[in-house]
């Protein structure tokens, strides 16, 4: 699981039929230790109703496909949680 910030939405009228009904978000991964942007933004399916500006938990690979409920759905990332708060004890780093 990773943490990211939702920075946008994607609408696609023509897509693989298995993506029908899935909301697609643009998620910017975050390095929670440094609070800096980490990597290139990615497209993630949303199964929980997250919105732009929210900090989210996302999964990738087979976990992402499992989260949408069908291992044949062509997704690489899925948003599975919305972060309410985050606390890191930096003395343990």
Whole-model pTM: value is 0.91
The radius of gyration of the chain from alpha carbons, rounded to an integer in Å, stands at 14
> How many other C-beta atoms are found inside a 10 Å radius of the C-beta of residue 89?
6
User: If you average pLDDT over residues 27-52, what whole number do you get?
Assistant: 92
Over residues 12-21, the pLDDT tens digits come to: 989 999 999 9
In the chain, the domains with their CATH numbers are 2-78 (2.40.50.220)
pLDDT at 45: 97
CA dist 57 and 72 (Å) reads 22
pLDDT at 65: 96
pLDDT at 74: 95
């Amino acid at each position: 699981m990773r943490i990211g910030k939702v920075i946008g939405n994607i609408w696609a009228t023509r897509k693989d039929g298995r993506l029908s009904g899935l909301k697609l978000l643009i998620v910017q991964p975050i390095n929670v230790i440094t609070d800096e942007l980490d990597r290139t933004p990615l497209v993630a399916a949303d199964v929980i109703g997250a919105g732009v500006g929210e900090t989210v938990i996302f999964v990738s690979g087979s976990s992402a496909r499992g989260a949408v409920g069908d291992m044949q759905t062509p997704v690489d990332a899925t948003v599975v949680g919305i972060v309410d708060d985050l606390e890191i004890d930096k003395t343990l780093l």
